[in-house]
Structure 1
Amino acid sequence: MRKQIIVNSTISEVRVALLENGVLAEIHIERATDEAAAGNIYKGKVLRVLPGMQAAFVDLGLEKAAFLHASDVIDQQEAAAGSNGGRPSGSLSEPVPIEKKLKRGEELIVQIAKEPMGTKGARITAHVSLPGKYLVYMPTSEQIGVSKRIANDKERRRLRDIVSSAPLPAGGGVIVRTAAAGLGQREIHDDIASLVRTWQSIQDRAASTKAPALLYSDLDVVLRCMRDMLSEDVDEIVLDSRDDYDRTKAFVAEFLPEISDRVQLYEDMEPVFDRYGVEQQIERATDPKVWLKSGGYLVIDQGEALTMIDVNTGRYVGKRSQEETVYRTNLEAAVEIVSQLRLRNIGGIIIIDFIDMEEPNNRRLVMQTLEEALSRDKARSTILRISELGLVEMTRKRTRENLERLLSSPCPYCDGRGRVKSVPTVGHEILRMIQREAARIGQAGERITVRANREVIGYLYKDEEAALRALQRRIGKNITLKVAEKYHQEQYDVVAS
């Protein structure tokens, strides 16, 4: 598989695209107006403690207060006792109520776990994690782990032994990243030491800073993507900004020197995303319908509560039997669904409606294909088995806004509903409103004037002329219809004079 990382930078926006065999797999966008990025560390001040929700709202100096759940709060007494940095050390431990952990006005160090989304503020945690080149340092957790992507048991034990021998501060823990595979003790210990110094500097700054305040910013989107995407199988890194090129070249030379010659500066006049076909793929990435190569298609409906994905055979009619046609379509859809979840950054609750299959073995193979595709996705997911109706329930971790919400806003015409009242519906509403207005004013007025959208007025004149005449006779008043060019289809005024 050919992998390319393409970076487009302007003064106000930076976009990083990951291409796999020329197909857009991930797109990351950061704008100058963005307030908070996942990974940033703040000194916050508790605004409210809500025992009924076992949560608190914390002021970070952002537009909206951040949400802190009780499970993400460090209890100082537990931490002092050494119970895993404030996390319950065993399944029988009674959780400490948040009102005993926090008080209004209290200041604490927190990290953004989920960026602000829609009308919600950021989700934060007091259990900080600092990612480095080869590992992630967790100052408040004693866990020592190794990435699941390192499959070799012998290598996992070797890395665990190296980390265990490092001089970690009390209460701290480490997760070894995939990039550490094959490294020696010196490189890993140096990375740990660097992250411990970073954490110490954050604590020192917090001690001398009044809340709310930003204590630590994670890497910008360019270097963050390099840190998370870089591997030896990346064939090309193309950047259209000299500054980003220089920073990336230095970062790659230190992080993965064997591929530093694959970093290229793009200087042509044609936009870099046009040259590599990224722009057109971004435009398609918000379409609800996704066509499969076989002729089938997906319909992706992203709602407030969950995302629904429907699988359809479309133009694909198969060759042997209906069961095989359905099975082949579902098999192809399972792989494409995971690709779309990555590309659109869809998280939360997801319901997949596969086409009904009669053969239990076919359902098992489709489920297996879906699970294998999800295993290659970096975002953590939980999946339930396929039901008799062909439904699959799953969740996917969400840390930032999905692509649709990032690139678009609710329609001002329909208020984001996706539908508007039909012309006949609005027309009949107006007729009823005329009657109400006539009853309200009694004998006080002689005329009722209606101002509405051109289509609605046309409907009343053409299709409801008889109803209008009958209504005039009933209320004993003249009815005047006027076109309001700037009114949308649902908007109207009924005024007596």
Structure 2
Amino acid sequence: MNRELIINVSKSEITIALAEDKRLVELGKESVKTGFAVGDIYLGRVRKIMPGLNAAFVNIGHEKDAFIHYLDLGPQFASLQKLVGQLTGAKKKNVQFDTFKLEQPIGKTGKIANLLATGQSIVVQIAKEAISTKGPRLTSDISLAGRNVVLIPFSNKISISQKIRSAEERKRLKKIALSILPKNYGVIIRTAAQGKNETDIGQDITSLIDKWEEVLRNIKTLEPPSLLLGEMNRANTILRDSLNGSFSAIVVDDKEMYDEVREYIKVIAPEQEKIVKLYKGKIPVFDHYDISRQIKSLFSKYVSLKRGAYLIIEHTEAMNVIDVNSGNRAKVADDQESTAMDVNLMAAEEIARQLRLRDMGGLIIIDFIDLHKAENRQKLYKTMQEFMAGDKAKHTVLPLSKFGLMQITRQRVRPEAIEHLEEVCPMCGGTGKVTSTVSIERELENMISYYAGEKKIKQLRLLVSPYVAAYLKSGFPSVRRRWMSKYGFRLKIGIDQSLGIVEYKFLDRKDRVLL
């Protein structure tokens, strides 16, 4: 598979597109000005304890208070708070972390009010970015991700990725980690570490320990709310987690970002430094690689498939719903079961791609075309699992229900990509419907009756959109003339292009807006 990472840099944001065989499969945006990314570590201040939720709201500097539940404090929270207390207390002690005495782990059924108090300083890490009206979701179970390992402070446990199946390799990696790790540090050895030598793994662990030491120094010197350690930018995060031999090119259209990416590649995979390229073309990089067209065509309610079939994707507050339609296929095929299976398999591949592309999260319900044979339903379920296997977000795929519906749950830690590209229509509120012309006519007449009858106003000027103006002036007699005759006053109708289709303003003789 040919995989390309295309990075577009502007003054306000960085946009990263991942294409597989020239098809866009992931799209990420990172604001240059706003922080609060997943993985960032903050020194926050507890704003409010919520005993009923067994949770707390924490001020980390975001416009909305962040949220942390008791279960997200982590088993070593008592040790973390003891350390924070020593670093931020009146004496501000110097702490040697590898000799620090750990406290007993906290239980899973405790009360957050027994551990936190309003105004208390707390070290937290962003687990989920702010989405819609919700602030960031936090954890105090701190971890630092590297290329080969994930460092876990306040732990002495070594875990190994289940994808590394060789018992001999697992034993080798564990031995390397044991020989390098100081006391009070644990690690999760990632799949990328498979086959790596002791030097590569050792450098990774050492760099992560240095980062944790930086966090400790910042706790001592900064006041909450403050950023203690920022996660690397989104482009380098993707490189850290996804870079392998299948990448054919990493294209960047900004010299500064190009240098940054190239330096990072030189550290984690020096043999692939040559695949990083600086784009110098005259047309925008996304246009050159056909990314712009794919963004416009894919972020639609309707997604076309081959030979007339299509998907309809609906977003609601509670879930996302995807309907699979055969379109013209049903008219040309004799075997209904075969046609349904063919369309469903084609749809499954595109749905897996759309989930990654739009970064859809939560509950996803898919209404596939009905299949009557049990073996076909099972095959569709297995195929969907295979297509979803490449998705790095945590997900669960359930078999088809007796109603032919498939349920998928997918973790989302960042705002859905489509939220960055679309806004809710201010006129219809996202419903796709506005007040009918008849209703507007009735509403306007009620206002005119009020001004002409109760307020005794003899002359009015009405500003409306061109659409409503045409309606009020057309016909014989027109709506405007009927109103003037009925209420015995003078009415002028003007056009205001800035008004929405069903918005209006009444003005008096001195062009003052009437309320």
User: Same fold, TM exceeding 0.5?
Assistant: yes
What is the alpha-carbon distance in structure 1 between the residues aligned to residue 208 and residue 228 of structure 2?
15
- 1:408-423 → structure 2 map (5 Å cutoff): 408-423=422-437
Q: CA separation of 1:35/1:443 partners in 2, compared to 1, >3 Å: closer, same or farther? A: closer
Question: Post-superposition shift, 1:15?
Answer: 2.1
Segments of 5+ residues of structure 1 without an aligned counterpart are: none
> Is 1:392–2:403 an aligned residue pair?
no
What is the alpha-carbon distance in structure 2 between the residues aligned to residue 117 and residue 459 of structure 1?
42
Question: Tell me, what secondary structure is at the counterpart of 1:26?
Answer: strand
1:482 pairs with one of 487, 493, 496: 493
Larger mean Cα displacement after TM superposition, 419-428 or 17-26: 419-428
Q: CA separation of 1:351/1:141 partners in 2, compared to 1, >3 Å: closer, same or farther? A: farther
Q: CA separation of 1:453/1:83 partners in 2, compared to 1, >3 Å: closer, same or farther? A: same
| Map of 1:308 onto structure 2 | 321
| Map of 2:89 onto structure 1 | none
- 1:281-296 → structure 2 map (5 Å cutoff): 281-296=294-309
RMSD: 3.1
Larger mean Cα displacement after TM superposition, 420-429 or 320-329: 420-429
> Is 1:350–2:364 an aligned residue pair?
yes
**Residue type of the alignment partner of 2:504:** Y
What is the alpha-carbon distance in structure 2 between the residues aligned to residue 470 and residue 237 of structure 1?
68
Question: Post-superposition shift, 1:328?
Answer: 1.1
1:361 pairs with one of 360, 363, 375: 375
Question: Post-superposition shift, 1:147?
Answer: 2.9
CA contact (8 A) 1:448 1:477 kept: no
Q: Deviations over 1:341-373 (max 9, x none)?
A: 111111122221212222222221111111111
Question: Tell me, what secondary structure is at the counterpart of 1:392?
Answer: strand
| Map of 1:190 onto structure 2 | 203
Segments of 5+ residues of structure 2 without an aligned counterpart are: 83-100, 510-515
What is the alpha-carbon distance in structure 1 between the residues aligned to residue 65 and residue 467 of structure 2?
45
Q: Deviations over 1:128-157 (max 9, x none)?
A: 111112011122556543334434454345
Question: Post-superposition shift, 1:467?
Answer: 8.8
What is the alpha-carbon distance in structure 1 between the residues aligned to residue 65 and residue 431 of structure 2?
27
TM-score if structure 2 supplies the norm length? 0.84
CA contact (8 A) 1:61 1:212 kept: yes
CA contact (8 A) 2:473 2:479 kept: no
Q: CA separation of 1:464/1:128 partners in 2, compared to 1, >3 Å: closer, same or farther? A: farther
Question: Tell me, what secondary structure is at the counterpart of 1:294?
Answer: helix
Question: Post-superposition shift, 1:379?
Answer: 0.5
> Is 1:123–2:137 an aligned residue pair?
yes
2:352 pairs with one of 313, 338, 341: 338
What is the alpha-carbon distance in structure 2 between the residues aligned to residue 494 and residue 82 of structure 1?
71
| Map of 2:93 onto structure 1 | none
| Map of 1:41 onto structure 2 | 41
Larger mean Cα displacement after TM superposition, 367-376 or 31-40: 31-40
| Map of 2:53 onto structure 1 | 53
What is the alpha-carbon distance in structure 2 between the residues aligned to residue 245 and residue 491 of structure 1?
49
What is the alpha-carbon distance in structure 2 between the residues aligned to residue 7 and residue 203 of structure 1?
33
> Is 1:455–2:467 an aligned residue pair?
yes
| Map of 2:147 onto structure 1 | 133
Q: Deviations over 1:283-334 (max 9, x none)?
A: 2232221111232111122233322211111232353312221111111111
CA contact (8 A) 1:423 1:455 kept: no
TM-score if structure 1 supplies the norm length? 0.87
What is the alpha-carbon distance in structure 1 between the residues aligned to residue 293 and residue 272 of structure 2?
28
Q: CA separation of 1:265/1:85 partners in 2, compared to 1, >3 Å: closer, same or farther? A: farther
CA contact (8 A) 2:472 2:478 kept: no
CA contact (8 A) 2:78 2:105 kept: no
Q: CA separation of 1:5/1:469 partners in 2, compared to 1, >3 Å: closer, same or farther? A: closer
Question: Tell me, what secondary structure is at the counterpart of 1:393?
Answer: strand
What is the alpha-carbon distance in structure 2 between the residues aligned to residue 174 and residue 334 of structure 1?
36
**Residue type of the alignment partner of 2:177:** V
**Residue type of the alignment partner of 1:242:** K
What is the alpha-carbon distance in structure 2 between the residues aligned to residue 447 and residue 478 of structure 1?
6
CA contact (8 A) 1:16 1:225 kept: no
What is the alpha-carbon distance in structure 2 between the residues aligned to residue 34 and residue 355 of structure 1?
43
Q: Paired residues, what number?
A: 487
**Residue type of the alignment partner of 2:194:** A
Question: Post-superposition shift, 1:45?
Answer: 0.6
Question: Post-superposition shift, 1:428?
Answer: 3.6
What is the alpha-carbon distance in structure 2 between the residues aligned to residue 258 and residue 71 of structure 1?
42
CA contact (8 A) 1:298 1:312 kept: yes
What is the alpha-carbon distance in structure 1 between the residues aligned to residue 313 and residue 414 of structure 2?
19
CA contact (8 A) 1:84 1:140 kept: no
What is the alpha-carbon distance in structure 2 between the residues aligned to residue 395 and residue 346 of structure 1?
10
> Is 1:155–2:166 an aligned residue pair?
no
Q: Deviations over 1:237-282 (max 9, x none)?
A: 2222333333322322221222222222222323322222122222
What is the alpha-carbon distance in structure 2 between the residues aligned to residue 85 and residue 296 of structure 1?
55
What is the alpha-carbon distance in structure 2 between the residues aligned to residue 83 and residue 350 of structure 1?
42
| Map of 1:225 onto structure 2 | 238
**Residue type of the alignment partner of 2:121:** E
| Map of 1:248 onto structure 2 | 261
